[in-house]
């Protein structure tokens, strides 16, 4: 019996070793290749790069050496895609084949692709909630969207690439009639089937596109109704799991086709990575998101929906330092929605950058419904970004990202659930009042504690995030040690031990538009 068990273990090990897998094969160089940016890039891509002083002739855009590809394919089973940016091809191969490939003189390294991506969709209700009208208005006015519309900022001239699992009925749905009539859908590509048709498969993309540009019965569902669109199917099915290869290729396609903004609800978490890997440099998709930023685009990506499970934190590429990672808040409370993933990154950077509503009115295949997930907060913010960029065409992508953070309703307060809050259009249209806010609270020192005490004349009034006191304790380098929201049932809201404020630590508090800090 012992020998049978040992044989079974050996057999299972041998089978595992012989199992075919998908790998990235990275090359050392791009010798003997030619590249003409004026035939490769769309004119809008060239315009974006020139405006941002980005080279049109960068080695990352050069094609992969065909001889290198042929040699690798001769030793593997098949190929599933490639990336110019990282000079690599993706192949299916057995371990012995990969061993042979890795010995080729022009191969830099190989990496097993074990990735499972998921769209940041919590669930979708197939029936509208009773609060349909309230929610539809809230998802626009929470961002002060009417201020953009009244100022004429509707995303015109901005090109947005949307990555998703499919876009069924977008070619027929009344919510997108204005896009079709005005030829706003510039190009489409299915990276799963390798064909242009994307108007099938998962309806998730139909929902996310509606959060950027949809219109129902004359009412905005998203802010960028006049933007141009590139639609990319990158996910394989409605279960929504697929590999990173499609997403990587879609990023380069979007760059080539002239995208200004990428709206993505993709996330890689515990299926492949450890929390320590969420450091902005480990995941290939994270590095690709940063590469897109280096090429002048703004990537708007969901934080993910792991906030109410053991993982809790964002998934790649939301850990990228040069993108906008979007958390979710509840439209009925304006506070963190329970499933929205938390920051910070493993290297202690702030995430999310800002938040949007994680419960939204969206288009389905046949109708209008309400949907849950940071899948929907991200495209709502992508539409906001398009309008803000139209309003500030001379800003670079990184400059605009910083301004969007400053427009957050909590700014300069931040925490790892809300970031800087929800962006506000009035910041960009210059229509928000710049009155010095009334002092609503003070800090009172006692022997061992510092208390946050409301003033006698403070009055609650409606605003985004009103009626709760936000506070955090942070180190001098900005890393938050502790943060919370507190219901102010009495004048003395909360008391903080002075021990927590040693070593230059800072207590920061935000309440109803008023912000103050305390240091010892």
Q: Is pLDDT above 70 for 237?
A: no
For residue 116, the model assigns a pLDDT of 57
Residue-wise pLDDT for 469-498, tens only, equals: 999 999 999 999 999 999 888 899 999 999
Residue 90 β-bridge partners: 24, 81
Tokens encoding 163? 């990555």
pLDDT at residue number 122 = 56
Complete DSSP assignment for 50-112: HHTT--SS-GGGSPPPHHHHHHHHHHSSEEEEEETTTTEEEEEE-HHHHHHHHTSTTEEEEEE
Q: What kind and span of H or E run contains 179?
A: helix 177-181
User: Higher confidence at residue 283 or residue 124?
Assistant: 283
Cβ burial of 494 (10 Å; 0-12, 13-18, 19+) is middle
The better pLDDT of the pair 10, 210 is held by: 210
- CB-based contacts of 247: which residues, under 8 Å, 6+ apart? 117, 163, 234, 264, 266, 285, 288
Show the domains of the chain with their CATH numbers: 20-112 (3.30.70), 118-429 (3.40.50.200), 441-519 (2.60.40)
Q: Residue 8 class from Cβ within 10 Å (0-12 exposed, 13-18 middle, 19+ buried)?
A: exposed
Instruction: Give the residue among 246, 265, 266, 251 at the shortest CA–CA distance from 297.
Output: 251
Nearest one of 391, 352, 370 to 224, comparing CA atoms: 391
pLDDT average, residue stretch 42-68: 97
Closest CA to 314 of 284, 358, 350, 356: 350
Mean pLDDT value of segment 11-25: 67
For residue 297, CA distances in Å to 43, 54, 228 come to 15, 11, 15
> For 432, which DSSP code?
S
The reported pLDDT for the residue numbered 235 is: 85
12, pLDDT greater than 70: no
Question: pLDDT higher for 116 or 259?
Answer: 259
Q: What average pLDDT does this structure show over 106-135?
A: 71
pLDDT at residue number 360: 94
Find the range with the poorest average confidence among 230-234, 250-254, 343-347: 343-347
φ and ψ of 379, to 5 deg: -65, -30
Q: Give per-residue pLDDT as tens, 506-520.
A: 999 999 999 999 998
The model's pTM: 0.91
Higher pLDDT, 104 or 458: 104
Name the residue among 47, 215, 242, 220 with its Cα closest to residue 148: 220
The secondary structure of 484-498 as a DSSP string is: EEE---SSEEEEEEG
Q: How many CB atoms lie within 10 A of CB 208?
A: 34
Cα distances (Å, whole numbers) of residue 177 to 169, 180, 210, 215? 11, 5, 11, 8
352 prior amide bond cis, ω within 30: yes
pLDDT in tens, 34-50: 999 999 999 999 999 99
The answer to whether residues 340 and 374 touch, using CB atoms and an 8 Å cutoff, is yes
CA 148, CA 384: separation in Å to the nearest integer?
A: 9
Q: What is the mean pLDDT of residues 61-79?
A: 97
* Model pLDDT for residues 391-425, shown as the tens digit of each residue: 999 999 999 999 999 999 999 999 999 999 999 99
3-state secondary structure 356-409: EECEEEEECCCCEEEEECHHHHHHHHHHHHHHHHHHCCCCCHHHHHHHHHHCEC
> What is the model's pLDDT at position 306?
74
Beta-bridge mates of residue 356: 328
Query: In the chain, pLDDT over 70 holds for what percent of residues?
Result: 87
β-bridge partners, 418: none
Residue-wise pLDDT for 271-282, tens only, equals 555 566 667 678
pLDDT top residue among 133 and 156: 156
- Contact between 250 and 242 under an 8 Å Cβ cutoff? The reply is no
Tokens found for residue 229: 């669109």
Is residue 303 within 8 A of residue 314, CB to CB? The reply is yes
Average pLDDT, the chain: 89
- Average pLDDT (187-216) is 96
Cα 493 from chain centroid? 34
CB atoms within 10 A of CB 454: 17
pLDDT tops 60 at residue 127: no
The pLDDT assigned to 275 comes to 60
How far apart are the C-alpha atoms of 219 and 374, rounded to whole Å?
22
Residue 55, CB half-sphere, CA atoms under 13 Å: how many?
A: 7
Residue 273 confidence (pLDDT):
57
Which candidate, 174, 182, 303, 191, places its Cα nearest to that of 243?
191
Q: What is the mean pLDDT of residues 258-275?
A: 77
What integer pLDDT is reported at residue 19 of this predicted model? Answer: 86
User: 3-state class of 327 per DSSP?
Assistant: strand
Average pLDDT over residues 353-372: 94
CA distance 268 to 153: 34
The bridge status of strand 324-329 relative to strand 449-454 is: unpaired
Q: How far apart are the first and last CA of the chain?
A: 71
Confidence of residue 462 (pLDDT cuts 50, 70, 90): very low
Residue 396 CA, distance from chain mean position: 19
Whole-number pLDDT of residue 9 = 43
pLDDT at 347: 87
16 SS3 class? helix
d(Cα 497, Cα 256) in Å, to the nearest integer? Answer: 55
């Amino acid at each position: 019996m012992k020998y049978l068990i040992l044989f079974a273990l050996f057999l299972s090990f041998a089978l595992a070793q012989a199992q075919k897998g998908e790998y990235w094969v990275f090359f050392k160089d791009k010798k003997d290749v030619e590249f003409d940016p004026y035939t490769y890039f769309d004119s809008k891509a060239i315009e974006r790069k020139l405006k941002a002083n980005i080279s049109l002739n960068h080695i990352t855009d050069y094609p992969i050496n065909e001889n290198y590809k042929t040699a690798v394919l001769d030793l593997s089973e098949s190929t599933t895609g490639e990336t110019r940016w990282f000079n690599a091809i993706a192949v299916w191969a057995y371990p012995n084949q990969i061993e042979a490939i890795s010995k080729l003189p022009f191969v830099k390294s190989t990496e097993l692709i074990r990735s499972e991506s998921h769209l940041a969709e919590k669930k979708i209700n197939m029936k509208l909630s009773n609060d349909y009208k309230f929610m539809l208005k809230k998802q626009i006015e929470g961002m002060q969207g009417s201020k953009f519309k009244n100022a004429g900022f509707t995303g015109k001239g901005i090109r947005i690439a949307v990555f998703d699992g499919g876009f069924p009925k977008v070619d027929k749905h009344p919510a997108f009639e204005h896009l079709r009539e005005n030829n706003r859908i510039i190009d489409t590509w299915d990276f799963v089937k390798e064909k242009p048709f994307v108007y099938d498969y998962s309806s998730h993309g139909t929902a996310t596109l509606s959060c950027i540009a949809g219109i129902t019965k004359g009412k905005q569902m998203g802010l960028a109704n006049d933007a141009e669109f590139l639609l990319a199917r990158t996910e394989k099915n409605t279960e929504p799991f697929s590999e990173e290869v499609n997403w990587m290729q879609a990023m380069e396609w979007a760059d080539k086709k002239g995208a200004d903004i990428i709206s993505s609800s993709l996330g890689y978490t515990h299926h492949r990575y450890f929390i320590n890997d969420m450091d902005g440099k480990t995941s290939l998709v994270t590095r690709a998101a940063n590469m897109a930023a280096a090429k002048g685009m703004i990537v708007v990506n969901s934080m993910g929906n792991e906030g109410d499970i053991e993982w809790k934190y964002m998934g790649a590429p939301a850990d990228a330092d040069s993108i906008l990672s979007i958390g979710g808040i509840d439209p009925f409370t304006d506070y963190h929605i329970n499933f929205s993933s938390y920051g910070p990154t493993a290297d202690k950077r702030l995430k999310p950058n800002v938040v949007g509503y994680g419960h939204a009115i969206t288009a389905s295949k046949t109708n209008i419904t309400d949907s849950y997930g940071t899948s929907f907060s991200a495209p709502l913010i992508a539409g906001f970004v398009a309008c803000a960029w139209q309003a500030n065409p001379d800003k670079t992508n990184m400059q605009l990202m910083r301004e969007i953070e400053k427009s957050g309703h909590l700014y300069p307060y931040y925490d790892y659930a809300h970031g800087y809050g929800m962006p506000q259009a009035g910041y960009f249209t210059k229509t928000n009042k710049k009155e010095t806010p009334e002092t609503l609270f003070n800090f009172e020192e006692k022997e061992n504690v510092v208390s946050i005490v409301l003033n006698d004349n403070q009055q609650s009034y409606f605003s985004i995030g009103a009626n709760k006191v936000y506070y955090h304790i942070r180190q001098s380098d900005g890393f938050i040690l502790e943060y919370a929201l507190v219901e102010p049932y009495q004048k003395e809201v909360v008391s903080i031990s002075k021990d927590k404020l040693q070593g230059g630590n800072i207590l920061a508090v935000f309440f109803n538009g008023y912000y103050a800090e305390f240091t010892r």
